[in-house]
Amino acid sequence: MKIEAIDLFYIALPKITRTADGTQDSLVVRVRTDNGLEGWGECDASPLVSMTAYVMPMSHSNVINIREALLGETIDSPEDVIRLRKKAGEYGLDIQQLDHAVAGADIALWDVLGKHLGEPVWKLIGHNVSFKKLPYASVLFGDNPAETRAIADSIVEREFRAAKFGWGPMGRGSLADDIALVQAARDGLGPDEKLLIDAGIIWGDNVDAAYERAVAFADLGVTWLEEPLRTEEVGAYKELSERVRANGVQIGIAGGEGADFYRVADDMMTNAGLDFVQIDVGRIGGITEAKRVADRAHELGIQYVNHTFKSHLSVAASIHVFAGYEEFDLTEYPAGDSALILGLTAPTGVFRDSEGLVQAPDTPGLGVEANLETISQYQRHVKIEIDGAVLFESSQP
């Protein structure tokens, strides 16, 4: 089949707040083929910046837009998707935003290929089985321990068996303040639930500050300390990981959501001493590249985990990536109440079973469907003109 159209939908809640909540807007990408099929994908990135990477005028042979790379191309096999992802990367070699932007198209290509071949994406990318994963409710800290406790209580009520708290006031006060926040989360969850902490790069390159927290949080049974440092501080990460291990501190060091392309993840896995590598399929250039990271993590004995703070389109795409690796048994699962989290794919989604586990589905493609009404309701109408000519204009889904 041939790629006939690539449609871009910028959706957003009416009011965007200045919190670390990535479920407030999205760029949704639809690929349509000449046999009447369509595939869907989602980017975790500024929608407007990413849209322009699909439509901007050529600058030279290494700055050519994604639509130009993909429209009219043939797609009949997994090799075609991999070839086209590579082609888009070559056309957009010098477009920094390329990976964030092309992620949506890459996911949509796997989805439409799965529908075409009648196979789930996890099979197409080389897995033999789709293992169940334990979803952890991924939430932001409350503004103080009491609010954090209330959020933890609500997670238990919703029967999650694991939870991650992140950002908010973490690292903005004293060590004691940070411990009080984590203690509140632990108190709410009870002693047996898995608790993960996301520091939101707050200690920058300060290994001592991060190490102190690692020690204190380990005492509260925290499984991992995520992004204590900035992604690019690979040397500082290494120092931190080695100090944690040398002193027998029982906590993992996690990071990697800032990996915009494969080598950043590989660099962190090889040189930062990570225990968990967290990859956002909507940033790193799609399923094709995320799968490379999962394979490499498997080789290195590092646990691959998805980073996902978007809709169930992204939840589904993320979980297909590492479905077949039994040892990668945790999955980030957005637990907020944004109308985009479930609404974008309602009534389909990646739902928990009776044991509270989730699984990449066996249905063809991603196994979730986009809800056109949600897109229509939340779509922002974008129009870009150059020298008076319309370069791009949003259309109804």
Residues of this chain that bind a second copy (CB under 8 A) = 12, 16-22, 24-25, 44-49, 52-53, 56-64, 93-100, 201, 231-232, 234, 258, 260-264, 266-267, 271, 283, 380-388, 391
Contact 104, 28 (CB under 8 A): yes
Pairing relationship of beta strands 162-166 and 134-140 according to DSSP bridges: parallel
Q: Is the Cβ of residue 34 or residue 385 nearer to a second copy in the bound state?
A: 385
Q: Is the Cβ of residue 348 or residue 374 nearer to a second copy in the bound state?
A: 374
Q: In the complex, what is the shortest distance from the CB of residue 161 to a second copy, in angstroms, rounded to a whole number?
A: 27
Q: Is the Cβ of residue 114 or residue 343 nearer to a second copy in the bound state?
A: 343
Q: Is the Cβ of residue 103 or residue 182 nearer to a second copy in the bound state?
A: 103
Residue 150: CB atoms within 10 Å = 13
- Which segments of 56-77 does DSSP mark as H helices, in order? 66-70
Q: Is the Cβ of residue 57 or residue 190 nearer to a second copy in the bound state?
A: 57
Q: In the complex, what is the shortest distance from the CB of residue 195 to a second copy, in angstroms, rounded to a whole number?
A: 23
Q: Is the Cβ of residue 234 or residue 358 nearer to a second copy in the bound state?
A: 234
Q: Is the Cβ of residue 183 or residue 270 nearer to a second copy in the bound state?
A: 270
Q: Is the Cβ of residue 84 or residue 358 nearer to a second copy in the bound state?
A: 84
* Rounded Cα–Cα distance for residues 171 and 202 (Å): 6
Q: In the complex, what is the shortest distance from the CB of residue 117 to a second copy, in angstroms, rounded to a whole number?
A: 28
Pairing relationship of beta strands 25-33 and 194-198 according to DSSP bridges: unpaired
Q: In the complex, what is the shortest distance from the CB of residue 129 to a second copy, in angstroms, rounded to a whole number?
A: 30
Q: In the complex, what is the shortest distance from the CB of residue 299 to a second copy, in angstroms, rounded to a whole number?
A: 13
Q: In the complex, what is the shortest distance from the CB of residue 271 to a second copy, in angstroms, rounded to a whole number?
A: 7
Q: In the complex, what is the shortest distance from the CB of residue 270 to a second copy, in angstroms, rounded to a whole number?
A: 8
Does the bond joining 364 to the residue before it have cis omega, within 30 degrees of 0?
no
List CB contacts of 270: < 8 A, sequence separation 6 or more: 300
* Rounded Cα–Cα distance for residues 385 and 393 (Å): 9
Tokens 């870009």 belong to 384
Q: Is the Cβ of residue 193 or residue 260 nearer to a second copy in the bound state?
A: 260
**Which of 375-383's residues contact partners 24+ apart within 8 Å by CB, and which partners?**
375/9, 375/11, 375/28, 375/344, 378/11, 378/12, 378/13, 378/339, 378/340, 378/343, 379/9, 379/10, 379/11, 380/10, 380/11, 380/12, 380/47, 382/10, 382/48, 382/51
Structure tokens at 312: 């169930």
Q: In the complex, what is the shortest distance from the CB of residue 365 to a second copy, in angstroms, rounded to a whole number?
A: 26
Q: Bridge-partner residues for 12, per DSSP?
A: 25
Q: In the complex, what is the shortest distance from the CB of residue 284 to a second copy, in angstroms, rounded to a whole number?
A: 10
* Rounded Cα–Cα distance for residues 77 and 170 (Å): 46
Q: In the complex, what is the shortest distance from the CB of residue 384 to a second copy, in angstroms, rounded to a whole number?
A: 5
Determine if residue 178 is left, alpha or beta; phi over 0 gives left, psi from -120 to 50 gives alpha, anything else beta: alpha
Contact 163, 136 (CB under 8 A): yes
Q: Is the Cβ of residue 121 or residue 201 nearer to a second copy in the bound state?
A: 201
Contact 4, 33 (CB under 8 A): yes
